[in-house]
């Protein structure tokens, strides 16, 4: 019965955690998707505005764009939702109640860990099966929209140059009927020499039924046309011919394709963005084989050609038949024997031209090989992307959930700030790694897994701190650690209102004598900071330092029961000794020996250790100076008392 009841309680806990997490995850995922979608639309706004595109077409583009933005939105949503979930549990003390009931943090996280495993698996299949189709259709639609002509919007009081080789000026426009008034048209469709200027009182602009032309109907106007001689002979301004025409109604047809033509999706599907894992691997193998075969052919050609040789004897026997003609043409001895200077110049120029031609040829080949390497890198990047999203979701969960349990802040404020900061950090590293992999500065797998390699240790460290209930975000703890590192850690003792046991002068004297003996022994052994070798062979004796530190704290704690203000002031002047690891590297430690011989690293650590050793020795010397003053108060049979 107890086992059954325990299982029932565990199931209730799992349902409670899932009910808390899933609504937040759905909300944050929608918000993150909306934000990254708005960023995408802002970047491509000019490709869609003013094209007369239907709402159905725009909604289709938004849908495919939203699917394409999932790899960006999903990790951020996991991070934000896990932070908010465990921050809310910590802020409402529910997480504390679970821990006090014997439930560990990993037990609380268990249903979400299982959920994140399924999310990661689903993210892989989404990247492999859905995303290539969505990206192909999105970029096909976007490219089709870019090639569509914009809708003609005639503005008032300015020249409109939206039509090719035609400028239209409209003084006034009736927005209800679309009639244009006081129209001036500069028509340069036949070139500047046959330019036309048209003035009219009013005009209407319509699209032909096939949407391939604009029909411009003009009313009550004049036309001026420059008539250039058909022979193309220039004429002076005095005998230049013009044609003037008055009309009541005139119709102009202007080529303007307003149709939307969807491009073939197969072009995008053949690129790396439209392939799944198996197709990418097949393409990578094919490109590898092509690069290897082309490189082998180029190398064989270079090895079999000799462009310049001083004599036929300098060429191997197997290559003389091939390069005999070249050698005879390029032999410098024969060039020196030439009597005509023009012949020598011709030989040199021919050789120079041959070198330039060969240089340009092999430069073109190297550029082609470089392009092939870039195509190979892009396929490799897309292949690794199929897996990095899954790991990113797990890593962000193991950062967000423990971090929320530590900071214990719910809502959108603190979790949102931390999530945005961490995601920006991840995004910068991920993009830097991808660009270095694309440019060939790093192997593809190193560049694509760089962000995960950086954030995974952070997730492990944060999870460890959360399991150990670390106060890593406690401001007082950080301030104390900072005071210890800077040597500004001071005592703040005060006279107690109630003292249970008064200070015994005899006991106080014994403790002070013991403390003075240990301080003298320490300064005798370490009068100054150690050298490089002495430091790495052991540093300050940890046993002696711990004895001195313990004796100091016990003595100060005992004497703090005094009622004497003067003695309390002297106790506050007693320095605080810290037993830090950097003061005494382990004698037989493998890492200490390794750091000792790695001079750049060893020198830096030794310099830092010397600063702490000098501070410790200075504190012990200060303790020796203040001990006689404390002894004068601590051994007095009738110390001053408070009224």
Flag the least confident range among 143-147, 163-167, 414-418, 512-516.
143-147
Confidence at residue 118, expressed as pLDDT on a 0 to 100 scale: 92
Count of alpha carbons within 13 Å of 161, Cβ hemisphere only? 2
Asked whether the predicted pLDDT for residue 474 surpasses 70, the reply is no
pLDDT category, 49, cuts 50, 70, 90? Answer: low
Greater confidence (497 vs 530) lies with 530
**Phi and psi at residue 182, to the nearest 5°:** 50, 70
- Output DSSP code: residue 474: -
Confidence at residue 48, expressed as pLDDT on a 0 to 100 scale: 67
CA nearest to 76, candidates 460, 413, 395: 395
pLDDT category, 636, cuts 50, 70, 90? Answer: very low
Asked whether the predicted pLDDT for residue 222 surpasses 50, the reply is yes
Structure tokens at 608: 């830092």
- In terms of Cβ atoms closer than 10 Å to its own Cβ (0-12, 13-18, 19+), residue 158 is exposed
Confidence at residue 3, expressed as pLDDT on a 0 to 100 scale: 47
Query: Measured between alpha carbons, how far is 176 from 195 in angstroms, rounded to an integer?
Result: 32
Q: What is the model's pTM?
A: 0.58
CA nearest to 576, candidates 540, 542, 543, 550: 550
Give the residue-averaged pLDDT of 144-148: 63
List C-alpha distances in Å: 173 to 176, 181, 299, 575. 9, 6, 70, 87
3-class SS letters over 306-330:
CCCCCCHHHCCHHHHHHHHHHHHHH
- Output DSSP code: residue 155: P
Confidence at residue 4, expressed as pLDDT on a 0 to 100 scale: 41
Query: Measured between alpha carbons, how far is 140 from 448 in angstroms, rounded to an integer?
Result: 26
In contact, 174 and 159? CB cutoff 8 Å: no
Residue 497 CB contacts under 8 Å (≥ 6 apart), including other chains:
none
Tell me the Ramachandran region of residue 108: left when phi exceeds 0, alpha when psi lies from -120 to 50, beta otherwise: alpha
**Phi and psi at residue 244, to the nearest 5°:** -120, 135
CB atoms within 10 A of CB 497: 6
Residue pLDDT, tens place only, 268-327: 667 777 788 888 888 888 887 887 777 777 777 776 665 544 344 444 454 444 344 444
Flag the least confident range among 156-170, 397-411, 468-482.
468-482
Query: Measured between alpha carbons, how far is 312 from 305 in angstroms, rounded to an integer?
Result: 14
Q: What is the mean pLDDT of the chain?
A: 77
Helix, strand and coil percent figures for the chain, each rounded to 5: 65, 10, 25
Residue pLDDT, tens place only, 194-215: 788 899 999 888 777 776 777 8
Give the residue-averaged pLDDT of 331-343: 55
By residue count, the chain amounts to: 643
Per-domain boundaries in the chain = 2-148+387-467, 159-255, 480-634
Strands 196-207 and 213-227: antiparallel
- Residue 601 CA, distance from chain mean position: 29
List C-alpha distances in Å: 585 to 286, 534, 535. 55, 10, 7
Asked whether the predicted pLDDT for residue 631 surpasses 70, the reply is yes
Confidence at residue 521, expressed as pLDDT on a 0 to 100 scale: 92
Confidence at residue 201, expressed as pLDDT on a 0 to 100 scale: 92
Residue pLDDT, tens place only, 521-554: 999 999 888 888 888 877 888 888 899 999 988 9
pLDDT category, 406, cuts 50, 70, 90? Answer: confident
In contact, 111 and 119? CB cutoff 8 Å: no
Burial 449-480 (b: 16+ CB within 10 A, else e): bbbbeebbebbeebbebbeeeeeeeeeeeeee
Query: Measured between alpha carbons, how far is 464 from 454 in angstroms, rounded to an integer?
Result: 17
Asked whether the predicted pLDDT for residue 5 surpasses 70, the reply is no
Query: Measured between alpha carbons, how far is 600 from 596 in angstroms, rounded to an integer?
Result: 9
Query: Measured between alpha carbons, how far is 17 from 527 in angstroms, rounded to an integer?
Result: 60
Burial 115-131 (b: 16+ CB within 10 A, else e): bbeebbeebbebbbeeb
Residue pLDDT, tens place only, 223-254: 888 776 544 444 444 555 778 888 889 888 87
The structure tokens 């392009």 sit at: 371
Confidence at residue 37, expressed as pLDDT on a 0 to 100 scale: 86
Greater confidence (49 vs 28) lies with 28
List C-alpha distances in Å: 271 to 265, 274, 385, 637. 11, 6, 15, 94
Confidence at residue 341, expressed as pLDDT on a 0 to 100 scale: 59
Query: Measured between alpha carbons, how far is 127 from 133 in angstroms, rounded to an integer?
Result: 10
Residue pLDDT, tens place only, 344-383: 677 777 777 777 777 777 777 777 777 778 888 888 888 8
């Amino acid at each position: 019965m107890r086992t059954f009841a325990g299982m029932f309680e565990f199931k209730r806990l799992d349902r409670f955690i899932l009910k808390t997490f899933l609504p937040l995850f759905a909300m944050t995922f929608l918000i993150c998707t909306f934000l990254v979608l708005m960023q995408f639309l802002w970047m491509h706004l000019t490709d869609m505005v003013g094209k007369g595109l239907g709402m159905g077409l725009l909604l289709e583009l938004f849908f495919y764009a939203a699917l394409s933005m999932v790899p960006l939105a999903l990790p951020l949503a996991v991070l934000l939702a896990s932070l908010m979930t465990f921050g809310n549990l910590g802020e409402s003390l529910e997480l504390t109640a679970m821990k006090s009931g014997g439930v560990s943090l990993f037990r609380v996280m268990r249903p979400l860990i299982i959920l994140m495993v399924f999310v990661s698996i689903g993210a892989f299949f989404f990247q492999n099966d859905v995303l290539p189709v969505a990206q192909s259709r999105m970029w096909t639609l976007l490219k089709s929209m870019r090639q569509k002509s914009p809708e003609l919007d005639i503005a008032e009081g300015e020249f409109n140059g939206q039509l090719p080789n035609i400028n239209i000026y409209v003084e006034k426009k009736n927005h209800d009927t679309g009639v244009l008034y006081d129209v001036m048209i500069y028509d340069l469709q036949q070139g500047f020499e046959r330019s036309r200027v048209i003035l009219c009182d009013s005009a209407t602009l319509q699209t032909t039924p096939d949407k391939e032309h604009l029909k411009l109907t003009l009313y009550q106007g004049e036309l001026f046309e420059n008539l250039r001689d058909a022979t193309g002979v220039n004429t002076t301004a005095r005998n230049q011919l013009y044609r003037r025409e008055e009309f009541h109604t005139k119709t102009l047809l202007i080529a303007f394709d307003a149709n939307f033509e969807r491009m073939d999706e197969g072009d995008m599907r053949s690129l790396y963005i439209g392939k799944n894992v198996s197709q990418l691997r097949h393409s990578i193998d094919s490109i590898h084989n092509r690069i290897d075969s082309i490189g082998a052919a180029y190398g064989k050609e270079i090895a079999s050609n000799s462009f310049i040789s001083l004599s036929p004897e300098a060429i191997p026997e197997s290559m003389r038949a091939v390069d005999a003609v070249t050698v005879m043409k390029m032999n410098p001895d024969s060039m020196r024997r030439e009597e005509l200077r023009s012949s020598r110049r011709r030989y040199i120029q021919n050789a120079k031209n041959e070198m330039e031609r060969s240089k340009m040829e092999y430069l073109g080949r190297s550029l082609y090989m470089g392009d092939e390497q870039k195509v190979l890198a892009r396929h490799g990047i897309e292949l690794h992307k199929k897996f990095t999203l899954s790991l990113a979701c797990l890593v962000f969960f193991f950062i967000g959930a423990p971090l929320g349990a530590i900071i214990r802040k719910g809502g959108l404020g603190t979790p949102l700030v931390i999530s945005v900061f961490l995601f920006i950090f991840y995004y910068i590293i991920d993009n830097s790694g991808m660009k270095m992999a694309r440019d060939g500065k790093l192997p593809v797998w190193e560049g694509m897994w760089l962000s995960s390699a950086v954030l995974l240790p952070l997730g492990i460290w944060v999870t460890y701190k959360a399991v150990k209930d670390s106060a890593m975000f406690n401001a007082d703890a950080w301030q104390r650690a900072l005071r210890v590192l800077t040597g500004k850690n001071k005592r703040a003792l005060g006279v107690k209102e109630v003292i249970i046991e008064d200070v015994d002068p005899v006991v106080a004297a014994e403790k002070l004598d013991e403390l003075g003996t240990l301080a003298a022994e320490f300064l005798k052994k370490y009068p100054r900071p150690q050298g490089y070798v002495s430091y790495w062979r052991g540093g300050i004796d940890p046993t002696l330092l711990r004895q001195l530190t313990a004796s100091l704290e016990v003595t100060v704690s005992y004497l703090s029961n005094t009622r004497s203000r003067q003695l309390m002031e002297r106790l506050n002047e007693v320095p605080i000794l810290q037993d830090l690891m950097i003061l005494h590297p382990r004698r037989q430690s493998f890492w200490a020996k390794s750091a000792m011989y790695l001079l750049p690293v060893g020198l830096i650590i030794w310099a830092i250790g010397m600063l702490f050793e000098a501070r410790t020795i200075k504190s012990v010397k200060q303790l020796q100076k203040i001990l006689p003053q404390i002894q004068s108060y601590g051994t007095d049979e009738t110390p001053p008392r408070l009224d």
